Structure 1
Amino acid sequence: MDSPSEDPLPLLDEDDREAALQRLQEAYADERISHEEMDERLDRVLTAKTHGELASALASLPKERPGTTSTIAAAGGRIRRRGAWRVPRVLKAGSAYGRVRLDLSRAIIDHPVVDIELHLGTGGARITVPRDAVVDVEGLHTGWKELRYKALRRSRPGGPKIRISGTMGFGRLKIRHAWR
């Protein structure tokens, strides 16, 4: 039986550590913490083994920079982003009846991990990710139709991780990697 003091999610993954390091760098760049405090917290983040240890190293830091979360919503119609658009750290897209088309192949992605949260009713979605991206769809719940995604067998290292979560009602989500 677990004791109440044990961390419920004991293992950290590299994405958690990377996000924590980014928050530290942003706080230091915004002069919210001193150089000495940055060094101390950096050491704690790099040696943390549990989520609890990581959280204590980040205590009192702002969650994210303003502007790192964007929401796009439409009752009907189409939501479309393509070309050289700047992808926020967290992108929330919601539509009751319309379609969502997100093309990240030429987008400016400043973050190592991008979370895309979809909340769609009857419309479908198509997401094109960069060729070297790693896609995680574990947090996505589909209702009527199954997800269409075939992971690349070999991807180049260094690409962003795209985590897709949320709910799909009656539409289908299609994810593909860009050709170049």
Structure 2
Amino acid sequence: MMDFEHPDIRASDADRAAVTRILENAVGQGMLTLDEYSERVDVVLAARTRRELDTVIADLPHIRHRPAPAPPEVLRGWMSSMSRRGQWTVPARLRLVTRMCSTTLDFTSAVLQSPVVHIDIDDYFGSTELVLPDGATADLNGVGNVASSTTVKVTASPPSQRLHVVVAGKMRFGSLTARHPFGTTLKRLLS
């Protein structure tokens, strides 16, 4: 089954094991000979991407179960100031639950676990700033505002291959801004 969402993502050992199990079941049901099985397992072991794995099982009826996505990391704050700067590790999914907080998530030196970061925001009376490196993009269209402002000062599309931040959720009586570090535009003009 082709992975239409991310066919060129690198294959993991778990992906290879899942495809090998599908091939073993196919042999057990008489769909493949042992020689065909052996040839295909060689391809599985050498596969670098999910697309390569999917070609091995494209002619077989199967359901490849994807592992459940990891739960999002949760950042909570109440009447405080929260900041993530420097080389902090950014998970692929982040949940931000804040009440009357000033929050800054600076991605300029961050260690990314995925080039796409999904942030689910649940905020009352707060201000949240996302500081993105030059070339990064952001999509804040999934944010519902109640007496709030959402400002995108970075490119929204096409999504950056380096870092694309997607924010969804609710802002109530607060503000959300996605921007580059101060001076980025000036540096670009002077270069």
Instruction: Classify the TM-score, shorter chain.
Output: 0.5 to 0.7
User: Which residue in 1 is equivalent to 2:66?
Assistant: 61
How far has the Cα of 1:150 moved from its partner? 2.3
Name the CA shift for 1:137/1:157 in 2 (closer, same or farther; >3 Å): closer
Report the equivalent of 1:9. none
Rounded Cα–Cα distance in structure 2 between residues aligned with 1:136 and 1:24? 27
Q: Deviation per CA, 1:62-82, whole angstroms, max 9, x where unpaired? A: 123x5x731111232122111
8 Å contact 1:132–1:155 — kept in the other structure? no
| SS of equivalent residue, structure 1 residue 163 | strand
How high is the sequence identity, in percent, across the aligned residues? 21
1:101 and 2:104 are equivalent in the alignment: yes
Partner of residue 34, structure 2: none
Establish whether residue 27 from structure 1 lines up as the match of residue 32 from structure 2.
no
**1:156: how far off?**
10
What TM-score results when the alignment is normalised by the length of structure 2? 0.64
Q: Distance in 2 between matches of 1:75 and 1:57?
A: 48
Task: Indicate the larger mover: 75-84 or 117-126.
Answer: 75-84
User: Relative to structure 1, is the Cα distance of residues 121 and 69 closer, same or farther in structure 2, using a 3 angstrom cutoff?
Assistant: same
* Superposed displacement of residue 110, structure 1: 2.8
The unaligned stretches of length 5 or more in structure 2 are 21-39, 56-60
Alpha-carbon distance in structure 2 between the residues aligned to 1:168 and 1:87: 22
Q: Would you say the 8 A contact 2:153–2:177 is kept in 1?
A: no
Q: TM-score, normalised by structure 1?
A: 0.68
User: 1-side partners of 2:108 and 2:162: how far apart?
Assistant: 11
Q: How far apart are the structure 2 equivalents of 1:80 and 1:91?
A: 14
Give the 4+ runs in structure 1 shifted more than 6 A: 153-156
Secondary structure class of the residue paired with 1:147: strand
Deviations 1:39-86 (A, max 9, x none): 6x636869xxxxxxxxx987422123x5x7311112321221111011
Amino acid at match of 1:148: T
